Amino acid sequence: MDDFVRIVEVGPRDGLQNEAQPVSTADKIELIRQLSLTGLRSIEATSFVSPRWVPQLADAAEVYAGIERRPGIAYPVLVPNEQGYDRARAVGVEEVAVFTAASETFNRTNTNAGIDESLARFAPILARAQADGVKVRGYVSTVLGCPYQGEVAVSEVVRVARALHDMGCYEISLGDTIGVGTPRKARAMLHAVAAEVPMAALAVHFHDTYGQALANIDACLEEGVRVVDSAVSGAGGCPYAKGASGNVASEDVVYLLHGIGMRTGIDLPALATTGRWLAARLGRQTGSKTGKALAAT
């Protein structure tokens, strides 16, 4: 089995979108510049959602136009609809991501649409992206629990993931949005989805609300997944999931992966330095235990 794991760094988008204090456009561009020098191959740059819903990312076009896109690195962005796709393409975006949930209630709260309505919205985006040569990634939220309805049926996770893959998404990220998953549940969910969608087309995205993210990732690695979403310094959270803590820290994920013999191509000290820089800009300590440990040595 391949021992290379691709980290999808979501800090500039998922990590910053819920920050209460404005983060300057210059700092967002600098964050992406620093991340681009660490060996990461995929850095989610921003989101072309309505500024009314996510004011922190109102400068999406300026951020994307201002970054230096380095060879060998993908800089995907999130788009909620065709208007977002238009805005993204206007500044040269070459990879986008669409997002829905496995929970009907969560999806209506998050996007003002049911799951099937969201999937219908994505159809023209996928068609246009195929014609434009643009890659599309799909996100499925609340795969292990919902803040509104509690348990989420694994069958719904499978249905939504399969629908996105069938529509043309090259990769499906399975997200534990509120961080309630445990290793056994995470493994069972991934196994069920992989029966319908190739494991090579799956990624996992864990929040660390109950401190289970690394254990969940390890369980999913044993199941065969080789793509992991994470955010430098453990930044982020979900604006529609009250109490959900940040994403698992990229530094901690890389430390785990290197410790179990997996390859990432990432310079861990450089990544930790970037994480501490971001934390300082946000006025807090880094959310990465690895980052703190490396700073103390």
Q: Residues 186-203: pLDDT tens digits?
A: 999 999 999 999 999 999
Give the whole-angstrom CA distance, residue 272 versus residue 43: 16
pLDDT, residue 183, reads 98
Whether residue 282 is predicted with pLDDT greater than 60 in this model: the reply is yes
pLDDT band at 297 (very low <50, low <70, confident <90, very high): confident
Residue 243: the pLDDT is 47
pLDDT in tens, 142-168: 999 999 999 999 999 999 999 999 999
| Residue 242 binned pLDDT confidence (cut-offs 50, 70, 90) | low
Q: Which residues contact 45 (CB under 8 A, 6 or more apart)?
A: 12, 13, 32, 63, 64, 67, 75, 76, 77
The pLDDT assigned to 1 comes to 57
DSSP for residue 13: I
Is there a catalytic annotation at residue 238?
Answer: yes
What's the whole-number average pLDDT of the chain?
Answer: 94
Count of other CB atoms within 10 angstroms of residue 295: 15
Rounded to whole angstroms, how far apart are CA atoms 111 and 208? 23
Does the pLDDT value for residue 237 go beyond 80? no
pLDDT in tens, 61-80: 999 999 999 999 999 999 99
Residue range 211-215: mean pLDDT, rounded: 96
Identify the CA nearest to 203 among candidates 176, 184, 234.
176
Prediction pTM value: 0.95
Measured distance CA(79)–CA(272) in Å, rounded: 29
Residues β-bridged to residue 42 = 8, 74
The answer to whether the CB of 69 falls within 8 A of the CB of 35 is no
pLDDT band at 238 (very low <50, low <70, confident <90, very high): low
Look-up of token digits 């989420």: 152
Order of strands across the sheet with 77-78?
42-43, 6-9, 227-230, 202-206, 171-176, 135-141, 95-101, 77-78, 46-47
Task: Tell me the pLDDT tens digit for each residue of 92-118.
Answer: 999 999 999 999 999 998 888 899 999
What pLDDT score was predicted for residue 112? 83
Q: How many CA atoms lie within 13 A of 190 on its CB side?
A: 32
By the 8 A CB rule, do 50 and 56 touch?
no
Percent helix, strand and coil across the chain, each to the nearest 5: 45, 15, 40
Query: Both tokens of residue 95?
Result: 């990879």
Instruction: State mean pLDDT over 270-279.
Output: 97
